[in-house]
Amino acid sequence: MARHSVQQSRVGGLLLPALVAALFFAGPVLGAEELAFNHTLGGVDWPYIPGLNASLCGTGTMQSPLNIIPGNTTTASTLTALNLSYATNVSLLNVTNEGDVVELVISSGNNSVKLPPSIYSTTNGSGLVLQQFHFHTPSEHMFDGIFYAAEMHFVHKDSVTGQQAVVAVLLKLDPTDTRNPDLDKFLPFTPNNYTGVQQAPANSTLNLTNLFPSNSSYWYYNGSLTTPPCTQNVLWLIFQNPLTFSVSQLLTLEVANAGGDGARADNRLVQLLNSRTVSVFRG
C-alpha cells in the first residue's frame, strides 16, 4: 500500500521546509526529504516512531504482506473470476514519486473491480473504485519464500463504506529482457525525486486492462495496508501469473524508491498468517 500518511504530512506544512532542505542537501540521494517512515528495517520500527499512528503494525493479527504457500491454500467453490471494468484509453496519468513508491493517480472514477459476491458485492456497499496504483520492489508478498522482482498494487475503495480492496499483480524479469510496452506508457515519466509530479503526455494512452494477466487465477485473503497505519480488513486479490518487464524498467522503479531513504527496496517484511486461510481461484 502507498504512503498516504506521507502525502498528508506534506500537506500539513512540511513542503516548504522540505524544499529548503532540498536546496542544502541536493546530494547523492536525489530530492531526499525526511519521510514519516521508511523501509530501511522492513517496517519493524514503525510502531515505535513517535507521532506515527502505527501501533496496529505491531499488534495486528491480520497483517499484510504474507508468504503465500501455494500448496497450503484452500480452493473455495464460491470464488469466481474478478470483473475488472477499467478504462482502455487513459491519458494524462499523474506519475508521482512518493518518497519510495512510484504512484499513479487515476482521474477517471469509472475504473472499478467487482469481486465474487461472497467477498464483496453491491449488497455490501456501492462498489470498489480504483484510486491509484503503485509499485513495490521487490514484491511484498512472497511465494514459497521467494520474492518476485516487483509487485503492483491497484488500490480500490468503496466511497460509502470505506472498504478497501487491493488487486495485486506480480512482475518478473523477462528472460530476453524485453520491455513491457504498457509500463512504458508512464514509467519513462517517473520523477527522480520525492516532491516531483509528472504527467504522462496526452498522446501516451494506457489500456489499463493490459496491466493484468490474461489468466484469471488469483489468491484471496483478508489482510491490511502494508504501510502505517496498517489498517486491517483490507481485501487482497493477488493474480497468480506474473507479467514481465525489463531490467531497465526495474531500475527506473528502484532509483525512484531510493529517492526517499536511499534504499532500492520498499517492501514490508512478511507477517504471520495466524488464524487466516488463503483461498485460491483457478481460472
Residues forming the site for Zn ion (CB under 5 A): 1, 153
Give the nearest distance from C-beta 23 to ligand NAG in angstroms.
9
Q: Which residue of 240, 249, 257, 271 would you call a contact of ligand NAG, by CB under 6 A? A: 240
Interface residues for ligand NAG in 7-66 (CB under 6 A)?
A: 26, 30-31, 37-38, 40, 45, 49, 53, 56
Q: Which residues of 79-113 are buried (b: 16+ CB within 10 A; e: fewer)?
A: bbebebebbeebeebbbbbbbbbbbbebeeeebbb
Toward Zn ion, which CB reaches closer, 42 or 117?
A: 42
- Cα–Cα distance for residue pair 112/191, rounded to 1 Å: 27
- Cα–Cα distance for residue pair 256/78, rounded to 1 Å: 40
Q: Does 193 help bind ligand NAG (rule: CB under 6 A)?
A: yes
Q: Which residue of 159, 178, 215, 248 would you call a contact of ligand NAG, by CB under 6 A? A: 215
Toward ligand NAG, which CB reaches closer, 178 or 207?
A: 207
Query: Judging by beta carbons within 10 Å of its beta carbon (0-12, 13-18, 19+), is residue 218 exposed, middle or buried?
Result: buried
- Cα–Cα distance for residue pair 159/137, rounded to 1 Å: 29
Q: Does 244 help bind ligand NAG (rule: CB under 6 A)?
A: no
- Cα–Cα distance for residue pair 250/237, rounded to 1 Å: 23
CB 242 within 8 A of CB 170: yes
Q: Does 241 help bind ligand NAG (rule: CB under 6 A)?
A: yes
Give the nearest distance from C-beta 177 to ligand NAG in angstroms.
22
- Cα–Cα distance for residue pair 107/236, rounded to 1 Å: 23
154 Cβ neighbours under 8 A, 6+ residues apart: 113, 130, 133, 166, 167, 168, 169, 211
Q: Does 199 help bind ligand NAG (rule: CB under 6 A)?
A: yes
Give the nearest distance from C-beta 2 to Zn ion in angstroms.
5
180's contact among Zn ion, ligand NAG, none, with CB below 5 to 8 A by partner kind, is: none
Chain contacts with ligand NAG (rule: CB under 6 A): 26, 30-31, 37-38, 40, 45, 49, 53, 56, 69, 72, 83, 85, 87-89, 91, 94, 105, 107-108, 110, 114, 118, 120, 123-124, 163, 191-193, 196-199, 201, 203, 205, 207, 209-210, 215, 217, 229, 231, 240-241, 261-262, 273, 277, 282-283
